[in-house]
Chains A and B, each alone.
Chain A
Amino acid sequence: MARVMDGNDLERAIRRIAHEILEQNRGTSDIGLLGIQTRGVPLAERLAMVLESIEGSPVEWGSLDIGMYRDDLDRRPKTELGETSVPFGVDGRTVILVDDVLYTGRTVRAALDALADLGRPSRVQLAVLVDRGHRELPIRPDYIGKNVPTSRTERVSVRLVERDGEDAVIIEAGAGT
């Protein structure tokens, strides 16, 4: 087991992503963050707070559950549905999807489908804390916390204080999908 990011690394990564978002989008006026359930959600909230502390104005954020949009339902254990809560209008907005780990890209594809059923954003960007490679779809992130090359058998876990009591990114060997 290897700890590739600790609490401080996470904080710095989020701060850097926030600055990149501001630079790319020239401010926060048209932005809405959507965290992908489950750990994308606290990350989106943190990003929103950091952006707000830099810009001085509140940043909209919400949560997106993709349970109803997965393409691999048959091959997973019973899917729990999480909450989709989008307290801002999606139409015409720049929506930034936020997730903890980017891997095959299928989660993001499902999130794009879910987003399309909510409205028509003018642009969609993607922010991930960790990119572990092995894309199966033509999906690329706009903002990356850290590139962590892995083999398919390894398992990448992101732990967040809000859910797991600590902040860390951990790679474990063994049965990873």
Chain B
Amino acid sequence: MNHFLTIDGVSRVELEGLLDDADEFVDVLHRPIPKVPALRGKTVATMFFEPSTRTKMSFEKAAKALSADTMSFSPGTSSLSKGESLKDTVLTVKAMGTDAMVVRHQSIGAPWRIAEWIQQPVVNGGDGAHQHPTQALLDALTIRQHFGSLDGLKIGIVGDIRHSRVARSDTQAFARLGADVTMVAPRTLLPVDPTVFPAEVSEDLDEVLGDFDVVYVLRVQAERGGASLFPSLPEYTARYGITKERFARLDPDAIVMHPGPMNRGVEIEGAVADDPRALILDQVFNGVAVRMAVLFRLLGGEHDG
């Protein structure tokens, strides 16, 4: 693998290998000195054209925990606003001396184009509504840590699936690892053709809620054009929010997950988010470990320079 751009097409063996590596990095992160020298001398550039603080910080922590150096690009004050093309921007940064780039961009497919231009390993940190493969890894790792395996688990993904790269990557990863996935959303928030995903579909959360071992809650994305796709926020919460009442009806061993950042009181009630069965902070911690695993895989072995 010389890029990590998508979950689509990654085999079960590859996924499990990455999760196994991530387990080792979880151990490293628990040490008094949570650092290894594996990528010493390598430079990882985080190119976040779509604003993000948390994912960017997670990747930077992962790179640094591997002893790599980091460079960071942020939009707004950059040359992009002076009309420089995306291609020129990434080639310029590469010329300063990078070994890999982590890219987040609002346009679908941007990391693929960048990979063609820079001919260096690229990690997709999220491209539009398309893919967020490291998120899928950290979510799968969290579930695996809790249940031992994803085989046969019933996982419900609830929320704005249509505009969610997390939903797309997660559905593919969870199904590949043996889970039964159900997408739960009103029709306007489901993919136009849901049959391209390895998942069942339901528009009635209350009907299916009790079946799930994992309830994965997506954020309501007002900024991604979701606003006009359902009548109002309170209506959304009434039909699809993970309220205390709904939480009480879950299987007692079921867990709740969320990719963050949360809209408390909208898609998830505050008390639910703070419950021990909500593994949101575990997800965040695992995020650093899986990103270490991905960077290690891309840069810690023979690669075409």
Binding site for B on A (CB under 8 A): 65, 67-70, 73-84, 113-114, 117-119
Q: Which of A76, A81, A113, A118 contacts B31 (CB 8 A)?
A: A118
Q: Is B116 interfacial (CB-CB < 8 Å)?
A: no
Top 7 A-B residue pairs of the complex, sorted by shortest distance between their CB atoms: A68-B36, A78-B301, A68-B38, A81-B21, A81-B24, A73-B300, A79-B301
The distance in angstroms between the C-alpha atoms of A124 and B207, with both chains bound, is 61
Contact A79/B24 with A67-B38, A69-B38, A117-B33 known, Cβ cut-off 8 Å: no
Q: Do A77 and B301 contact each other (CB < 8 Å), given the known contacts A65-B24, A68-B296, A83-B24?
A: yes
Whether the Cβ atoms of B24 and A73 lie closer than 8 Å is no
> Roughly how many angstroms separate A75 CA and B35 CA in the complex, as a whole number?
22
**Bound-state Cα–Cα, A81 to B33, Å:** 19
Closest A residue to B17 using CB positions: A80
Q: Known pairs A68-B300, A80-B17, A84-B24. 20 more at Cβ < 8 A?
A: A65-B24, A67-B24, A67-B300, A68-B36, A68-B37, A68-B66, A68-B296, A69-B36, A69-B37, A69-B38, A73-B301, A76-B302, A77-B302, A78-B301, A79-B300, A114-B36, A117-B33, A117-B35, A118-B31, A119-B32
Among B24, B32, B38, B301, max chain A CB count under 10 A is at B301
- Contact call A81/B301, Cβ cutoff below 8 A: no
Given A69-B37, A81-B20; A74-B27 close (CB under 8 Å): no
Q: How far is the CA of A114 from the CA of B27 in the complex (A)?
A: 13
**Chain A: CB-nearest residue to B67:** A68
A73 lies within 8 A of B38 (CB): yes
Q: How far is the CB of B137 from chain A (nearest CB, A)?
A: 15
In angstroms, Cα B36 to Cα A77, docked, is 19
- Please give me the residue from chain A that is nearest to B22 by CB atom: A81
A sample of 6 inter-chain contacts (CB < 8 A) reads A67-B38, A76-B301, A80-B17, A81-B296, A114-B36, A117-B36
- How far does the alpha carbon of A80 sit from the alpha carbon of B293 in the complex, in Å? 11
Cross-chain contact of B37 among A79, A113, A118 (Cβ < 8 A): A113
B246 within 8 A of A: no
The docked-state distance in angstroms from the alpha carbon of A82 to that of B27 is 12
- Scoring B66, B299, B302 by chain A CB atoms within 10 A of each residue's CB, the highest score goes to B302
Q: On chain B, which size bracket covers the interface? A: 20 to 34
- Bound state CA distance, A113 and B67, in angstroms? 13
B297 within 8 A of A: yes
Name the residue on B nearest A114 (C-beta). B36
Q: For the complex, is B15 an interface residue (Cβ under 8 Å from A)?
A: no
Chain B nearest Cβ from A167, distance in angstroms: 28
Q: Which residues of A contact B301 (CB under 8 A)?
A: 73-74, 76-79
Closest chain A CB from B69 CB (angstroms): 16
- The verdict on A78 contacting B297 (CB below 8 Å), with A65-B24, A118-B31 known, is yes
- Binary interface encoding of chain B residues 32-64 relative to chain A, with 1 for a CB under 8 A from any of its CBs, else 0: 110111100000000000000000000000000
Q: How far is the CB of B191 from chain A (nearest CB, A)?
A: 34
Question: Do the beta carbons of A78 and B302 come within 8 Å of each other?
Answer: yes
Does B254 sit within 8 A of A, measured CB to CB?
Answer: no
Q: How far is the CA of A117 from the CA of B31 in the complex (A)?
A: 8
B279 within 8 A of A: no
Q: Which residues of A contact B189 (CB under 8 A)?
A: none
User: Residue B108 at the A interface, CB < 8 A?
Assistant: no
Q: Using Cβ atoms and an 8 Å threshold, which residues of chain A touch B66? A: 68
Closest Cβ neighbor of B305 among chain A residues = A74
Residues of B with C-beta under 8 A to A80: 17
Centre residue among A68, A70, A73 by max chain B CB count within 10 A: A68
Within the assembled complex, what's the spacing in Å between the Cα atoms of A121 and B28?
Answer: 18
CB-nearest residue of chain A relative to B293?
A81
Q: What's the nearest-Cβ distance from chain A to residue B247, in Å?
A: 36
Choose from B21, B38, B297, B302 the contact partner of A75 (Cβ within 8 Å): B302
